[in-house]
A and B are shown apart, each in its own frame.
Chain A
Amino acid sequence: QKEVEQNSGPLSVPEGAIASLNCTYSDRGSQSFFWYRQYSGKSPELIMFIYSNGDKEDGRFTAQLNKASQYVSLLIRDSQPSDSATYLCAVNIGLSGSARQLTFGSGTQLTVLP
């Protein structure tokens, strides 16, 4: 079992719809969770981070964390073609969140259709 798992996609949604990206992780001690967006040929760009159970909203983006289920998700409302990218879920895997390096999922490729 991979430490951080994502559906590789591709995930296609029509413009204006809600895109839902999911991620599960293996280590119950993990405490920090991040979503990065990566355009083709570019470096990862931080878009959201979440540390506590529940929802965190920033503009069109909402991160959701459920530590009991070891599940973190990213919702993108009113999806735009410019949101088309690979979305990487990253977790500080380690005892009580002690690890400082990030463990990344393999990414979900999102395409927003005009």
Chain B
Amino acid sequence: GAGVSQSPSNKVTEKGKDVELRCDPISGHTALYWYRQSLGQGLEFLIYFQGNSAPDKSGLPSDRFSAERTGGSVSTLTIQRTQQEDSAVYLCASSLINQPQHFGDGTRLSIL
């Protein structure tokens, strides 16, 4: 597709379960970013991938959060032992080097 694709669009799960969120960036974009947006809040940076370099994980809120990017393309954000405060919209963005970021439609995560 032409844009950043994220799946699932909505996810409802019970507290304590693990979840995986997927992001398929724009073709050719070497940079990939994950952000989180809580209700009524701005976006909070989580993690950044650039090519084959080590990812910048400085925004991950706890060790329950991890992400990987396979083959320089698709990325998966994993949240283990989910907590209610993890409820948010998780947004993925991609870009060319030093170019503006373009966002996917996000995954709305609800922890019961």
Chains A and B are bound partners: yes
Q: Which residue of A lies closest to B47 (CB)?
A: A101
Chain A residues contacting B16 (CB-CB under 8 Å) are none
Q: Is the interface of B mostly helix, strand, loop or mixed?
A: strand
Of the candidates B42, B50, B59, B105, the one whose C-beta lies within 8 Å of that of A43 is B105
Q: How many Cβ-Cβ contacts under 8 Å join chain A to chain B? A: 45
Q: Is A60 an interface residue (CB 8 A)?
A: no
Q: Assess A46 versus B43: contact at CB under 8 Å? Given A100-B56, A101-B33, A101-B59.
A: no
Of the candidates B42, B45, B101, B103, the one whose C-beta lies within 8 Å of that of A105 is B42
Q: Is A61 an interface residue (CB 8 A)?
A: no
The count of chain A contact residues (Cβ–Cβ below 8 Å) is 19
Within 8 A of B (CB), among A87-110: 88, 90, 100-107
Which of under 10, 10 to 19, 20 to 34, or 35 or more describes the interface residues of B? 20 to 34
B48 touches A88 (CB 8 A): no
Chain B residues contacting A88 (CB-CB under 8 Å) are 42-43
Q: Assess A102 versus B43: contact at CB under 8 Å? Given A43-B106, A44-B91.
A: yes
Q: Which residue of B lies closest to A34 (CB)?
A: B100
B103 touches A102 (CB 8 A): no
* Residues of chain B whose beta carbon lies under 8 Å from any beta carbon of chain A: 31, 33, 35, 41-45, 48, 50, 56, 59, 91, 100-106
- Write 6 A-B pairs (CB below 8 A) sorted by A numbering: A34-B101, A42-B105, A43-B91, A88-B42, A100-B48, A102-B45
